[in-house]
Structure 1
Amino acid sequence: MASGSPEPTLRLDIFLWHARLAKTRSAAQAICEGGRLRLDGRRIERAHCPVRVGMVMAFPLNGVVRILRVEALPTRRGPPAEARTLYTPLEPTRSSPVDESDSAA
């Protein structure tokens, strides 16, 4: 086997649907085409963008920003427990408000 073989990829909208981050494929396409999803820091506006293992995606979902690392590419839309193994949730970095202090006045 050649060492230069390309890494396996999957369409972004199909990944979101298989990972159960969107209820329908059209909802997954809307997330992708809304211009608010970032994949490895790049803004994505197309549903057919390729996803690879190790990529990090960030997007708003139900009022919360989700940041996920892709751990595996799915072969089917399985049960929720199987879907959760496809990604690892990452915590967003939080910045403290300017007027917040550690000591009481």
Structure 2
Amino acid sequence: MNLPARQRLDKWLWFARVVKSRTLAAKLVGEGFVRVNGVKTDVPAKAVNVGDVLTIALERDVRVLKVMAPGTRRGPFPEAQTLYEDLSPPAEAAAPKDEHAARQPGSGRPTKKERRDRDSFFDDQ
């Protein structure tokens, strides 16, 4: 089967399972959250080629994807992963901002005494 060399950006984002629907892909591109080779685009019909680098600002993170192949269908996730190479930097582990207020996982809510101790510690500073 002869694959096209180019594909619509919104369609490719949907095939690659970056977003749940093609409508959401068009909305993401239309609002300016996608860059193609470093250039902001707001046209969902923008053609992407093999080798293009997409920078996508999602709700909680930024993904950098290199287009490896155009999509033919919205298949399962392992098939969608073959369409791109993920160049995103690794996510940094979220460290607690205040070590005094950090609690061990599963230890439940602080007691009244623990809360008073914590409040008095921060009021002194």
TM-score w.r.t. length of structure 1: 0.78
Counterpart secondary structure, 2:82: helix
Between the two proteins, the alignment pairs up a number of residues equal to: 87
Mind listing any 5+ residue stretches in structure 2 that lack a counterpart? 91-125
Q: Which residue of 1 aligns with 2:5?
A: 8
1:19-65 deviations in Å (ceiling 9; x for gaps): 11110110010111011210001101010000100000001113100
Mind listing any 5+ residue stretches in structure 1 that lack a counterpart? 1-6, 94-105
Tell me if 1:49 matches 2:57: no
Q: Which residue of 1 aligns with 2:26?
A: 29
Q: Distance in 2 between matches of 1:59 and 1:44?
A: 11
Q: Is the 8 A contact 2:56 2:62 kept in 1?
A: yes
| RMSD over aligned Cα atoms | 1.5
Q: Which residue of 2 aligns with 1:90?
A: 87
Q: Which residue of 1 aligns with 2:66?
A: 69
Select the structure that is richer in helix: 2
Q: Which residue of 2 aligns with 1:102?
A: none
- Residues 76 and 35 of structure 1, relative CA distance in 2, 3 Å threshold: same
4+ residue runs over 3 A deviation: none
Residue of 6, 15, 18 corresponding to 1:18 = 15
